[in-house]
Structure 1
Amino acid sequence: MTPNLIRQAAVVLSNLLEFNSPADAKLSEFFRNNRDMGTKDRAFVAESVYGVLRRLRFLSTVTANEEGDPDDARKLILAWLLRVQGKSIRELESVLNEQQKEWAHVIKAKSTDNLPLAVQADVRDWLWDKLVAQYGEAEALTIARSMHEQASLDLRVNTIKGNRDDVMAKFIAENTSGETNISKTPYSPLGLRMASRLNISKHVLFTEGKIEVQDEGSQLLSYLVAPKRGMMVADLCAGAGGKTLAMGALMRNTGRLYAFDVSEKRLHSLGQRLKRSGLSNLNAQSISSENDPKLKRLNGKFDRVLVDAPCSGLGTLRRNPDLKWRQTPQDVAELNVKQANILARAARLTKEGGRLIYATCSLLRDENESIAESFLAAHPDFKLLNAAEILRQQQIDLDTGDYLKLLPHLHQTDGFFAAVFEKQSASKPTAEVEPAEVIAAEVEKVTETEVAVAPKAKKAATTKKEAKPKAEKVAKPKVAKPKAVKA
């Protein structure tokens, strides 16, 4: 650690505290513009700025002793080192100037007795009130504090190309320290958990498509969909396709799997992952919205429809701590409208006897149970299935009731919610459902954008060349004063 390294971290943090775009995107841009930075220095910058974001309200409290200080970002990093990492002033003396040493003594001596619970939880007041209303004060504080920790690195083994025991054995054989740095995930039959974070993207198991980075909770959602061989399955909000690829593997590369999303950029990322996966049953389509006309021909065709809905992401605060400062009650209210609309549209894609799965990575009842209950009230042709029973049928012992509800402090995963609905058969006889091959032929008649292709093709097709983002200039050493954290 050097004075210059602390200065660089403060420059990045000051930029992140504007909260005008995702923290991970800004951090990645900084590293692209500073390619000569060493691995250890990169790790310090990333860990320190994310550490401050996780504990921002608490750290703002212990540093709030002067007004108009132009070095607030640097002071926040110093407070993180002293009050969160447990560093002593003596350990840091060599990298601090005289003024910073004065700060250090004030920060170290600052009393934190009787802090408001929302400050201890490190969330805004509105979010704290919602968590307390749902879980009670004690559990709300436990949940919030569990988000102060860094998430584990979870991997999913791609069963099209390998099995968990063999992959685990290879990682163990590579470990020369003698310590066990990998274990099987407790719930997902295909998951592995790394004790330390590695650059998996360059590992041979990753480049060969035998593993994917995927939180265990996300893996469990794919099992909750329970796709089977030969089925027609749709992922209506596929994004970069982590769950899509997991479902394709569970289908053993049979049937027809459709990935829909409004973002061509995310689907392009799915195309890159598809090449490694070995799957050939996946068809990715760009749509303008849930009401895109190209979906009309598919009404009533799907055995399974997954809606991994756009949400606040408040279950992923271990990975994305900036979300708890960026999201607002108004954002959640707008998301609720979008969630209800997408779920209602997905219901029309589901065939009789088929299942519709609604999922979020949110902790809030507003985005979870409330949406599920409203959907059932408006759609009497659907019934709620017991999530625990569906998992039990696949030898997964995890009982959270009718809904799947995962919490970091209980399950060591991101926070997830999911509900499974089954579409009831009509009382009158219905026409025989067309086989997947006939349906696939119908789909090809629709004018559509092919965003990802089967791995046998030479290149993943896109409608237009992806524009490379312009790199912003690196900020000057002077650190701007960050915005104050409001309750």
Structure 2
Amino acid sequence: DRAAVRDLVYATLRRRRSRAALGGGDSGRALILGALREAGVDPATIFDGAGHGPAPLTAEETAAGRPPTEAEALDLPDWISQRLQQDLGLDFTAVALALRERAPVWLRANLARATAAQAQSALARDGIETATDPRCETALCVTAGERRLQASAAWREGLVELQDLSPQIACAALELTPGTRVLDLCAGGGGKALALAARGAQVTAWDAAPARMRDLPRRAERAGARIALAEPSGPQGPYDLVVADVPCSGSGTWRRTPDAKWRLAPDDLAALEQTQAAILARAARHIRPGGRLAYMTCSLLRSENEAQVADFLAAHPDFRLETSRRMSPLTESDGFFLAVLGR
């Protein structure tokens, strides 16, 4: 079963360091051995060589493995663990442990097509159960039937989109009126562009890598949204609101992309921070006087969040911080940061 294999791989990547300790190594075989020991399953019942089963354990494999150290049990590289501990303070351990767990699946009700209650009813007819959340009127958390989603009528008819709770809250927090001219400067797949268009904004999408937007026209058609794609050479302003959901470490989303925390290196983070500063400077050029810049990341690191905003404001005295907000993996959502800067 492909889904079961995927779930096993993702779970192992989330807990790669602790399972390597338990399994006595970092090979795929050792990691699975570590997962079985973590779950209290006798490895000999799986590693028996029967049928398609893995070969029996060697004496060395049986003897290998030990309980993880305190640092290993957090399942983070040491260097990033130190950074997060500095930035998160007392929440650090709880956040690190939360990143070891599977993330909930969130949907955004497309208000251009249906209310959240109507979307919820449509999903239920196809065997998909959801729960609303008081923090955001569009948010639906899938509690059963997740694998039926893309075959459901609600999905095909554009009543819902996959989107985590945190970016939904961030988009809902942005002040919009019908016709507000919005530039999504790092549009990617277009999740935030679609959310803002559903609220009546006049949205233009652009991305430094246009291929990332290849699915956006199809998604917009399904959602009943009108989104203009800016020329690859760059958007033409000015705009009332520029949304810059910048490339980042993704540390707030490591439950969903667990391989990323093992691939990220200090030099990678430094390069991302330079890119973030450059995007902020570019965004400023597209904002009319009286307009706003919404800076977003899915990072937990201050260097990508508050520090970037502070550096930008120091270099752009015509902007001011209106509001900023952190969202935590401890609240059943991804880690996320939003700062709204007024010009």
User: TM-score by structure 1 length?
Assistant: 0.66
1:311 aligns to what SS in structure 2? coil
Q: 1:233 touches 1:256 (CA, 8 Å); kept in 2?
A: yes
- Separation (CA, whole Å) in 2 of partners of 1:106 and 1:154: 43
Q: Hey, what does 2:251 align to over in structure 1?
A: 314
Encode CA deviations 1:411-456: one digit per residue, 9 max, x unaligned.
2111101100010xxxxxxxxxxxxxxxxxxxxxxxxxxxxxxxxx
Q: Hey, what does 1:159 align to over in structure 2?
A: 111
Q: Of residues 172, 184, 187 in structure 2, which corresponds to 1:235? A: 184
Q: 2:180 touches 2:240 (CA, 8 Å); kept in 1?
A: yes
Q: Of residues 170, 184, 190 in structure 1, which corresponds to 2:132? A: 184
What percentage of aligned pairs have identical amino acids? 34
Q: 2:20 touches 2:30 (CA, 8 Å); kept in 1?
A: no
Which protein has the larger Cα radius of gyration, Structure 1 or Structure 2? Answer: 1
1:284 equivalent in alignment to 2:229: yes
Q: In structure 1, what residue type is equivalent to 2:130? A: I
Encode CA deviations 1:149-175: one digit per residue, 9 max, x unaligned.
111111111111111111212333444
Encode CA deviations 1:312-369: one digit per residue, 9 max, x unaligned.
1111101000011111111111111111111111112111111101000111111111
Q: Hey, what does 1:257 align to over in structure 2?
A: 203
Q: How does 1:296-315 map to 2 (within 5 A)?
A: 297-298=236-237, 301-315=238-252
Q: 2:123 touches 2:153 (CA, 8 Å); kept in 1?
A: no
- Separation (CA, whole Å) in 2 of partners of 1:258 and 1:209: 20
Q: How does 1:374-393 map to 2 (within 5 A)?
A: 374-386=311-323
1:216 equivalent in alignment to 2:171: no
Higher relative contact order (CA 8 A, sep 6+): 1
- Separation (CA, whole Å) in 1 of partners of 2:54 and 2:32: 15
Q: Hey, what does 1:126 align to over in structure 2?
A: 79
Q: CA deviation at 1:90?
A: 6.5
- Separation (CA, whole Å) in 2 of partners of 1:151 and 1:239: 21
- Separation (CA, whole Å) in 2 of partners of 1:383 and 1:97: 60
Q: Of residues 172, 185, 198 in structure 1, which corresponds to 2:124? A: 172
Q: Hey, what does 1:78 align to over in structure 2?
A: 33
Q: Hey, what does 1:406 align to over in structure 2?
A: 327
Q: How does 1:260-271 map to 2 (within 5 A)?
A: 260-271=206-217
Q: Hey, what does 2:295 align to over in structure 1?
A: 358
Identify if the C-alpha distance between structure 1 residues 230 and 141 changes in structure 2 by more than 3 Å, giving closer, same or farther: same
Q: Hey, what does 1:437 align to over in structure 2?
A: none
1:335 equivalent in alignment to 2:272: yes
Identify if the C-alpha distance between structure 1 residues 170 and 106 changes in structure 2 by more than 3 Å, giving closer, same or farther: farther
Q: Hey, what does 1:139 align to over in structure 2?
A: 91
Q: CA deviation at 1:91?
A: 4.9
Q: CA deviation at 1:97?
A: 6.0
Q: Hey, what does 1:92 align to over in structure 2?
A: 46
Q: 1:376 touches 1:382 (CA, 8 Å); kept in 2?
A: yes
1:78 aligns to what SS in structure 2? helix
Identify if the C-alpha distance between structure 1 residues 103 and 407 changes in structure 2 by more than 3 Å, giving closer, same or farther: farther
1:198 aligns to what SS in structure 2? helix
Q: Hey, what does 1:390 align to over in structure 2?
A: none
Q: In structure 1, what residue type is equivalent to 2:336? A: F
Q: In structure 2, what residue type is equivalent to 1:189? A: E
Higher-strand-fraction structure: 2
- Separation (CA, whole Å) in 1 of partners of 2:55 and 2:249: 43
- Separation (CA, whole Å) in 2 of partners of 1:92 and 1:155: 37
Q: 1:263 touches 1:286 (CA, 8 Å); kept in 2?
A: no
Q: CA deviation at 1:226?
A: 2.5
Q: Hey, what does 1:345 align to over in structure 2?
A: 282
Encode CA deviations 1:180-213: one digit per residue, 9 max, x unaligned.
9420134121010012432422211111111101
Q: In structure 1, what residue type is equivalent to 2:204? A: Y
Q: In structure 1, what residue type is equivalent to 2:184? A: D
- Separation (CA, whole Å) in 2 of partners of 1:202 and 1:260: 30
Encode CA deviations 1:19-39: one digit per residue, 9 max, x unaligned.
xxxxxxxxxxxxxxxxxxxxx
1:422 equivalent in alignment to 2:342: yes
Q: 2:190 touches 2:205 (CA, 8 Å); kept in 1?
A: yes
- Separation (CA, whole Å) in 2 of partners of 1:368 and 1:225: 18
Q: 1:221 touches 1:243 (CA, 8 Å); kept in 2?
A: no
Q: In structure 2, what residue type is equivalent to 1:259? A: A
1:162 aligns to what SS in structure 2? coil
Alignment coverage as a number of residue pairs: 339
- Separation (CA, whole Å) in 1 of partners of 2:215 and 2:273: 27
Q: CA deviation at 1:88?
A: 3.6
1:323 equivalent in alignment to 2:260: yes
Q: CA RMSD in A?
A: 2.1
Q: CA deviation at 1:256?
A: 2.5
Identify if the C-alpha distance between structure 1 residues 97 and 416 changes in structure 2 by more than 3 Å, giving closer, same or farther: closer
Unaligned runs of 5+ in 2: none
